[in-house]
A and B are shown apart, each in its own frame.
Chain A
Amino acid sequence: MKRVGVFICHCGTNISAAVDCEKVAENAKSFPGVAYSTDYKYMCAEPGQELIKKAIKEQKLDRIVVASCSPRMHEPTFRRCIESGGLNAYLLEMANIREHCSWVHPDDKERATIKATDLVKMAVAKVMQNEALVRSTIPITKRALVIGGGIAGIQAALDIANTGHIVDVVEKEPSIGGRMAQVDKTFPTLDCSACILTPKMVDVANHPNVNLITYSEIEKVEGYVGNFDVTIRKKARSVDLKACTGCGTCIQKCPTKVPSEFEMEMMDRKAIYTPFPQAIPNKPVIDRENCRYFKSGKCGVCQKVCPTNAVDFTQEDELVTERYGAIVVATGFDLFDESVYGEYGYGKYKDVITGLHFERLLNASGPTMGKIKRPSDGKIPQNVVFIKCVGSRDEAKGKAYCSKTCCMYTAKHATLVREKIKDSNAYVFYMDVRTPGKGYDEFYTRTTDQYGAKYIRGRVSKIYEKGDKLIVWGEDTLLGRPVEIEADMVVLATAMVAKADAAKLAQMVGFSYDQNHFYTEAHPKLAPVETHTAGVFLAGACQGPKDIPESVAQASAAAVKVCGLLSKEEMPTEPIISAVNEAICSGCGMCVPVCPYTAIDLKVIQERIHGKTVSRKVANVNSGLCQGCGACTVACRSAALNLKHFTNEQILAEVDALCL
């Protein structure tokens, strides 16, 4: 026999003013299963809790209903209370007779009392079906993985490592550093990007808790929070990192020149190369697609000149599998392919370039040694036109969103043109100037006031070459007149877009992305670094356009989340999850696509039927992934799935209790 105890709270007069608590307690005595019912002034207070504990013992109660405030307020309190009274925490139900009753019906005590009675009746009916549930735990592997070694990945890795946890950083390129390494100076302070980035790169490389795994990619991810099994492909570098001293002799002697990706193809690199001088690791890699040895079997110069015998043509890709407790994804962004703007002639006119090209032109170790020169003829441009929102805020040809960084970096570029080129003009075509951020608008104001850049409100419609000039057609929308500029160079502030392989990576790790393939945070305001997948966190521009300060802030936030997770030995799991009744599951698989957390898969079980062993498919809920939403239970036509603590039977019992 089940013995339910019912406890009606007055909440001082908060409840009792509108609900006749004694009467409700009295009514409850007649509900099936109720062995004891009482009311009290303050249930959550020490004496109230003692009252419950005492009743459990004296009345031999095996399940409890508390009718009081919202369970969102005190469910944990009363769960702890009955637990210390010797009952399983999940043998509690609450009836919300304050927020949902007394407070909203203060003037109709009779009907409020009827309603409170109904609510208690429902809770009693439900609790009769409650089962003891146990919170289990899963062990946590105390090692974190950071995917992507840009500024966001570097910062996250450093913060995690500094708390004493081990971090692996997997970077696709031969060096860490990301886009920030390509940028020359950074807004809003104009300090040199390398000067602030390089020390961080060195720190992360030298940190005893950090393993850099460069020139590598994620191949497979299995498992879930606490225990992700990740397979990493270490691409053949053709240089033995341990033997190589980074002397650079091989690079000097290599006869093969290839346009450098890092320098936006405005300069050459060799087939054996480091992407940039401050690269980390500062050891070369052979680009097998272009190396003569790999193309024709001839050459091998680098191997011959290497004093330490580090060049190894026979190296092969290596697959390693490692277990991690948490993952930070920090894979950054790409730039929009502006060649879709036929009217701007990108790709056709050499002196129409992107902002990133311009960064390299500004950089002292770039193709022009930091002198702003035109790619076509090396002349110093006098009139430089900047066009903002290229590919951003353009539904027709590009992306609908704002790329957030380009207003600022264009202001930076315009400032630098005026600073570096005597008598130059910087014209900026803009639609809006978006500079929210500390010191940002002041920076923009200096660009116009102090540096005299000319801002023209309007989008450019056409650029064409006339002699060695570029004619730019725009409208000054503030004047309402078409305008034309004879420019020497045009710089397009192209949109920040998701990495080409962003969706693939998200599918592999198992979290969601938006229509633009930026990664989706768990909540846009309150969980901006979490994903919907427990244990996977986001940092930097892979989640959406961001500048460096924001990327760093997000990285540190993600690191805290990771450390919070790794600081525990094991993790309790919520027992309110879905369970499969294998006996009646038909294996139809209807439930599988419904689960937002991909917690359900089909497994094969062996059964003995009439003395024969047969195997069949049944659904299998991964308790580490299930979050207990219950969507699957509705999808199952055989009613083989049920959600613990909110079972079909429990809910139907509540419905019946209310109606009958």
Chain B
Amino acid sequence: MERIELTAAWAKGQEVLAEVTKESGVRASKCYQCGKCSAGCPVAFAMDKTPREIMRLVQLGLMDEALQSHTIWLCASCDTCSTRCPREVDIARVMETLRIIAKRKGSVAEKKMDLFHDLFLKSVENNGRVHELGLILGFNIYGMQPLKDAHFGPSMLLKGKLSPLPHTIKDNGEVKKIFANVRKRGGKL
């Protein structure tokens, strides 16, 4: 295994670490590496690093490794970890912040997931609400898996669960403005 040169890594990670600390409001040093978060995380089985290991990377300032991990994308935001952490570390919030920063830096390990969220928000911005059929179709087309979940389509339409037309709110100006205002304040949407 490659040896990490810690002093250099620490210096290099400072800027991003400061961002994470500021935006998440979580001081990584609080974590005492007990692993209770990972032990209860329902998605840990699929992760490349356990949530505790993400906290460790952040503690040591190894930010590139944290930002490039699949873990931060696989996290389901279920809050199990934050609920049980004995040191009151809001790990779910750290995951969230790391995702936001990864996106900002363009180092996204799970491109497809990221695509989905973009489409989702586009749908919200355009229609005020999410158009599920449009979203799923769009996602599957952009995501190069046109037939995924297609078998649900017909029965969903029949059951009145999917509407072929988007639900929109009459005057979507307000929602569009919210997006615009967030962008004005530096939000990268």
Contact = CB atoms under 8 A, between A and B. Distances in A.
Interface of A: 343, 393-398, 431, 457-462, 473-477, 480-483
Given A394-B86, A395-B88, A459 B39 contact: yes
- Describe A's contact surface by its main secondary structure: loop
B115 interface: no
A503 B49 CA distance: 46
Interface stretch (B3-11, B27-35, B127-135, B146-154): B27-35
Given A458-B34, A458-B39, A477-B52, 9 more contacts: A393-B32, A396-B87, A398-B86, A458-B35, A461-B39, A474-B39, A477-B33, A480-B53, A482-B39
A207 B73 CA distance: 71
Contacts of A393: 32, 86
Interface stretch (B40-48, B58-66, B94-102, B173-181): B40-48
Contacts of B69: none
Contact of A459 (B35, B41, B44, B49): B35
B85 interface: yes
Contacts of B35: 457-459, 474-477
B36 interface: yes
A431 B31 CA distance: 12
Contact of A462 (B34, B39, B49): B39
A476 B53 CA distance: 11
A397 B88 CA distance: 9
A461 B36 contact: yes
A462 B50 contact: no
Given A393-B86, A475-B52, A482-B50, A462 B40 contact: yes
A476 to B, nearest CB: 8
A185 to B, nearest CB: 29
Contacts of B41: 461, 482
Interface of B: 32-41, 44-45, 49-50, 52-53, 80, 84-88
Contact of A431 (B32, B49, B80): B32
Nearest to A460: B39
28 contacts: A343-B84, A393-B32, A396-B86, A398-B86, A431-B32, A458-B35, A458-B38, A459-B35, A460-B36, A460-B39, A461-B38, A461-B41, A461-B84, A462-B40, A473-B39, A475-B35, A475-B39, A475-B50, A476-B35, A477-B33, A477-B35, A477-B52, A480-B52, A480-B53, A481-B50, A482-B41, A482-B44, A483-B39
B75 to A, nearest CB: 14
Contacts of A397: 86
B34 A431 contact: yes
B45 A459 contact: no
Nearest to B30: A395
Contacts of B86: 393-398, 459
B169 to A, nearest CB: 41
A460 B37 CA distance: 9
Nearest to A456: B35
Contacts of B39: 458-462, 473-475, 482-483
Contacts of B52: 475, 477, 480
Contacts of A475: 35-36, 38-39, 44, 50, 52
Contacts of B88: 395-396
A475 B41 CA distance: 10
Contacts of B38: 458, 461, 475, 477, 482
Nearest to A391: B86
Nearest to A462: B40
Contacts of A394: 86
Contacts of A481: 50
Contacts of A474: 35, 39
A477 B40 CA distance: 13
B40 A480 contact: no
Contacts of B45: 482
9 A-B pairs with the lowest CB-CB distances in the bound complex, closest first? A461-B40, A475-B35, A461-B39, A458-B35, A394-B86, A459-B36, A459-B34, A475-B38, A477-B35
Contacts of A473: 39-40
Contacts of B40: 343, 461-462, 473
Nearest to A479: B50
A244 B33 CA distance: 58
Contacts of A458: 34-36, 38-39
B118 to A, nearest CB: 31
A272 to B, nearest CB: 44
Most-contacted residue by chain A among B38, B40, B52 (CB, 10 A)? B38
A481 B35 CA distance: 9
Nearest to B41: A482
Nearest to A457: B35
